[in-house]
Chains A and B, each alone.
Chain A
């Protein structure tokens, strides 16, 4: 018979979102504080893994219908794409740019292409971590 882990389910629902929020914070903090795409990606993967561990694979797959292989591909394309864009503008491959903009609600904000690059890293890391662990986990 199945044990009904009420405690685990309840805590997971709360904690998973806290971890997810923290991972997003880590991702955006990367430019000025400890953090970045790699750590953020791993943290997001950890939050999703917690979901997978608490609930069964099938349920989570319905809730989060991501194809992680696509995620890896999009991530790599994004990382390389920022590099190639700088080439199209006549700079060497992977030249990053940044500038300060006055945005509504946020005030003066620094926007950098490095964030897009990091986004690619983030997506790839999430994809590969979950892809490999789920593949091994699903394997009977």
Chain B
């Protein structure tokens, strides 16, 4: 346990303390205590910056389950540090924001901060863990914490729905990911990401490579809300806004991005990885941006916008992976490194402007009581600071200068244009799709950014539709978005401040084999990059976006023409309902409640299993050599035996049936006599007598109403099943007889014959075996009988109805 481990686990430890703080220090908002932790952690992680910037990495191991190769290894490199700083930094801002957002009088703050801290710790664990199993454990904890936070206002139906949806989808992906991790372990024999990367060529040549990759990507895509798993994110907007800002824009949804980036050295280089990651990313980009236009709820717009931006980052990671194909040192690979750089850069930018925008939306919601853009408008004059922040965030999101979104968007265009020139992975035919889709998606992005800005803050002020009189938010609430907004501007004007400290180390983590040896790889991002295709595309985006925005809001409202809900929601809902209906139907078909049916299942299963086993091992054999000669008595007895047994199912009267069964019992006793088993014959006679007496007693006690004579329902299936059971048992008996003869086992009875008098002093061998050699069996059998008798007494005397409180 080092300080680094403690840093990862600190939020969990803090979460234990929170309820006590909430309970005993009610007059102070609990958030203030919580705020200390992310600030401390941020400061702690900042101090790793110099060493990580020099290309070093810190690794601390604590054994957890060493026998299975599972160790709690904390590994700090560029990528992990970047995420850790995002998590703690934005975490601190979100906690500060939530202090003013959530009232200490009306909200259950202990729940909120426990969940939030749990999430923060889990997220730190995900990004800093080197062991895949540890990563998985933290991964599922983020899913759990996220669900708890979405369902924070659990009395609302929609909150519960959203929490369940996100849980189902992300845990589904999490399980798939665990399967993928297990396959990786099968291939490489280790759970450590470091060692996996070292064995990347072994894994690439393995037959399980593709299944492992698909399963891991399934986990990443569900978490990062990629198409078609993005549907949980808009429903997750039922969470309190600080949660949406933190989890659903800046951190948790980037866990999938992190995973893809982290495992790029293991999987990348092939066409499958390139196409799946960039293809799904590209489609998510355009789907999310198109869906965002249709939304009327501010948070829904931002949710779909997050989906779209995550698709963009994913697409960039896919394009960046093509650099691996060319190998290190080649000029082509350096050409495609820009995509990875953009992904990392946009990751930071998106966290800043999206966090800022969510907080702005939270302020609007808080101060006006609604998030519906049809009710809002003209808030510019009431909320000048909020409006300014919205301008900064929206324009950055739309990709306009001088904000950081512009830089990452220009770099994105560069990446897709270069991707179009690729001549591998069938890109010569499909490559042109990349810039076209990217451009169209950017137009959509521009439109929804403008909707967000203008529909909320400009236009006509509609006081009659608002519950409250809007006014500027309190200063405390504005601090966090102001910090994020200034970061947007600072990163826009001085994009290179992070180049060497964060961007380059992160890139080295994503593509270590390409960059470890390159010294001259410099990260240079310029606001002005000349008149080139990218700039023309941006100008085109602005022009087309402005025209479309004008056209869309002319005349009849756009929201009445477009369906707001995502069609995939319908698929999810009907699939879930169908799953429940289907399981109920299946249960009903098979769980009939009739013992007769269950007995039929068991018999059929036994027939199939034994039949297959007999067939599989060719156990069918009839060996007449070992059969003793059959005497006339036995023939006669057997014929009477069979006839009386066959008669039982045809008897329509209970009394006759009981007597017939008794006859069979006595015949059995006769058989024992013929086969020289006097003890058995005696016992059988007496037991049969007692049984018939009991049967008659029960018959006497049958209720009046059911005293009619019954005819067994004759069903051909029953006949077939019973004949088959009889046949299979007979065949097995023949088979085992033949096998016993063939293998020539020596029976154990010779020992008893020789020793029963000398060792046990008895001449009746059966009795000696019962009381001496195998006395334990006898004791326990008598115990069984005693329990049965006491059971009879209990049932008859107590007459329980099943409702007693025993």
B497 contacts chain A at the CB level, 8 A cutoff = no
B479 contacts chain A at the CB level, 8 A cutoff = no
Q: When the two chains form their complex, are residues A39 and B793 in contact, meaning their CB atoms are under 8 A apart?
A: no
Interface string of A21-58 (1 = CB under 8 A from B): 00000100111111111110011011001000000000
Interfacial residues of chain A within 90-140, with CB under 8 A of chain B in the complex: 93-94, 96, 98, 110, 112, 114, 117-118, 120-121, 124-125, 127-129, 131-133, 135-137, 139
A49 proximity list for chain B (CB < 8 A) = 693
B25 contacts chain A at the CB level, 8 A cutoff = no
Partner of A39, one of B683, B693, B778: B683
Partner of A128, one of B698, B768, B788: B788
Give the docked Cα–Cα distance between A30 and B686 (Å): 16
Interfacial residues of chain B within 755-806, with CB under 8 A of chain A in the complex: 760-764, 766-768, 770-772, 775-776, 778-779, 782-783, 785-786, 788-790, 792-793, 796-797
A30 proximity list for chain B (CB < 8 A) = 764, 767, 771
B107 contacts chain A at the CB level, 8 A cutoff = no
A87 to chain B, nearest CB (A): 13
Task: Say yes or no: A34-B764 contact (C-beta < 8 A), given A39-B682, A131-B789.
Answer: yes
The binding surface of chain B is classed by DSSP as: helix
A84 to chain B, nearest CB (A): 11
B736 to chain A, nearest CB (A): 28
B775 proximity list for chain A (CB < 8 A) = 83, 94, 96, 114, 117
Give the docked Cα–Cα distance between A29 and B657 (Å): 36
A121 proximity list for chain B (CB < 8 A) = 771, 778, 782
B524 proximity list for chain A (CB < 8 A) = none
Tell me the nearest residue of chain B to A131, going by C-beta.
B789
B627 contacts chain A at the CB level, 8 A cutoff = no
Q: When the two chains form their complex, are residues B701 and A132 in contact, meaning their CB atoms are under 8 A apart?
A: no
A132 proximity list for chain B (CB < 8 A) = 694, 788-789, 792-793
A16 contacts chain B at the CB level, 8 A cutoff = no
Q: When the two chains form their complex, are residues A96 and B694 in contact, meaning their CB atoms are under 8 A apart?
A: no
Q: When the two chains form their complex, are residues B792 and A114 in contact, meaning their CB atoms are under 8 A apart?
A: no
Q: When the two chains form their complex, are residues A36 and B789 in contact, meaning their CB atoms are under 8 A apart?
A: no
Of A29, A128, A131, most buried by chain B (CB within 10 Å of CB) is: A128
A60 contacts chain B at the CB level, 8 A cutoff = no
A127 proximity list for chain B (CB < 8 A) = 786, 789
A83 proximity list for chain B (CB < 8 A) = 775-776, 779
Q: When the two chains form their complex, are residues B686 and A110 in contact, meaning their CB atoms are under 8 A apart?
A: no
Give the docked Cα–Cα distance between A35 and B768 (Å): 11
Q: When the two chains form their complex, are residues B793 and A135 in contact, meaning their CB atoms are under 8 A apart?
A: yes
A116 to chain B, nearest CB (A): 10
Task: Say yes or no: A128-B679 contact (C-beta < 8 A), given A42-B686, A45-B690.
Answer: no
A115 to chain B, nearest CB (A): 8
Give the docked Cα–Cα distance between A125 and B755 (Å): 28
B539 contacts chain A at the CB level, 8 A cutoff = no
B726 proximity list for chain A (CB < 8 A) = none
Interfacial residues of chain B within 725-740, with CB under 8 A of chain A in the complex: none
Tell me the nearest residue of chain A to B681, going by C-beta.
A34
B687 contacts chain A at the CB level, 8 A cutoff = yes
Partner of A136, one of B689, B698, B767, B778: B698
Q: When the two chains form their complex, are residues B761 and A110 in contact, meaning their CB atoms are under 8 A apart?
A: yes
Give the docked Cα–Cα distance between A38 and B687 (Å): 10
B540 contacts chain A at the CB level, 8 A cutoff = no
Partner of A124, one of B689, B762, B782: B782
Partner of A137, one of B686, B697, B778: B697
Q: When the two chains form their complex, are residues B760 and A135 in contact, meaning their CB atoms are under 8 A apart?
A: no
B785 proximity list for chain A (CB < 8 A) = 124-125, 128
Tell me the nearest residue of chain A to B797, going by C-beta.
A135
B741 to chain A, nearest CB (A): 30
Q: When the two chains form their complex, are residues B683 and A38 in contact, meaning their CB atoms are under 8 A apart?
A: yes
A6 to chain B, nearest CB (A): 24
A133 proximity list for chain B (CB < 8 A) = 690, 693-694, 697
A42 proximity list for chain B (CB < 8 A) = 683, 686-687, 690
B332 to chain A, nearest CB (A): 82
Partner of B772, one of A96, A124, A136: A96
Task: Say yes or no: A33-B764 contact (C-beta < 8 A), given A72-B786, A131-B793.
Answer: yes
A45 proximity list for chain B (CB < 8 A) = 690
Give the docked Cα–Cα distance between A94 and B768 (Å): 13
B678 contacts chain A at the CB level, 8 A cutoff = yes
Give the docked Cα–Cα distance between A112 and B771 (Å): 11
A31 proximity list for chain B (CB < 8 A) = 761-764, 767-768
A38 proximity list for chain B (CB < 8 A) = 683, 770
Q: When the two chains form their complex, are residues A32 and B771 in contact, meaning their CB atoms are under 8 A apart?
A: no
Q: When the two chains form their complex, are residues B782 and A32 in contact, meaning their CB atoms are under 8 A apart?
A: no
Task: Say yes or no: A135-B690 contact (C-beta < 8 A), given A38-B683, A42-B683, A128-B786.
Answer: no
Tell me the nearest residue of chain B to A30, going by C-beta.
B767
Task: Say yes or no: A139-B686 contact (C-beta < 8 A), given A34-B679, A36-B771.
Answer: no
Task: Say yes or no: A35-B767 contact (C-beta < 8 A), given A75-B782, A98-B760.
Answer: yes
Give the docked Cα–Cα distance between A31 and B778 (Å): 15
A80 proximity list for chain B (CB < 8 A) = 779
Tell me the nearest residue of chain B to A32, going by C-beta.
B763
A76 contacts chain B at the CB level, 8 A cutoff = yes
A94 to chain B, nearest CB (A): 4
Partner of B762, one of A32, A76, A129: A32
Interfacial residues of chain B within 527-567, with CB under 8 A of chain A in the complex: none
Give the docked Cα–Cα distance between A139 and B697 (Å): 10
Tell me the nearest residue of chain A to B789, going by C-beta.
A128
Give the docked Cα–Cα distance between A42 and B762 (Å): 22
Q: When the two chains form their complex, are residues B762 and A114 in contact, meaning their CB atoms are under 8 A apart?
A: yes
Q: When the two chains form their complex, are residues A76 and B783 in contact, meaning their CB atoms are under 8 A apart?
A: yes
Q: When the two chains form their complex, are residues B796 and A36 in contact, meaning their CB atoms are under 8 A apart?
A: no
Give the docked Cα–Cα distance between A120 and B686 (Å): 19
A76 proximity list for chain B (CB < 8 A) = 779, 782-783, 786
Q: When the two chains form their complex, are residues A136 and B679 in contact, meaning their CB atoms are under 8 A apart?
A: no
Task: Say yes or no: A129-B690 contact (C-beta < 8 A), given A38-B683, A136-B792.
Answer: yes
Interface string of B668-689 (1 = CB under 8 A from A): 0000000000110011001101
Tell me the nearest residue of chain A to B686, going by C-beta.
A42
B761 proximity list for chain A (CB < 8 A) = 31, 98, 110, 112
Task: Say yes or no: A34-B682 contact (C-beta < 8 A), given A49-B693, A93-B776, A96-B772.
Answer: yes
Give the docked Cα–Cα distance between A120 and B771 (Å): 11
Interfacial residues of chain B within 692-726, with CB under 8 A of chain A in the complex: 693-694, 697-698, 701
Given contacts A35-B679, A112-B761, A133-B694, 14 further A-B contacts (CB under 8 A): A29-B764, A31-B763, A33-B764, A34-B679, A34-B766, A49-B693, A75-B782, A93-B776, A94-B779, A96-B771, A112-B760, A114-B772, A127-B786, A128-B789
**What are some 14 contacts across the A-B interface (CB < 8 A)?**
A30-B764, A31-B763, A32-B763, A34-B678, A34-B682, A36-B764, A43-B686, A75-B786, A114-B762, A121-B782, A124-B782, A125-B782, A127-B786, A136-B792
A: residues with CB less than 8 A from B are 26, 29-39, 42-43, 45-46, 49, 69, 72, 75-76, 79-80, 83, 93-94, 96, 98, 110, 112, 114, 117-118, 120-121, 124-125, 127-129, 131-133, 135-137, 139
The 6 A-B pairs of least Cβ separation, nearest first, read A128-B789, A98-B761, A34-B678, A42-B686, A32-B763, A94-B775
B: residues with CB less than 8 A from A are 678-679, 682-683, 686-687, 689-690, 693-694, 697-698, 701, 760-764, 766-768, 770-772, 775-776, 778-779, 782-783, 785-786, 788-790, 792-793, 796-797
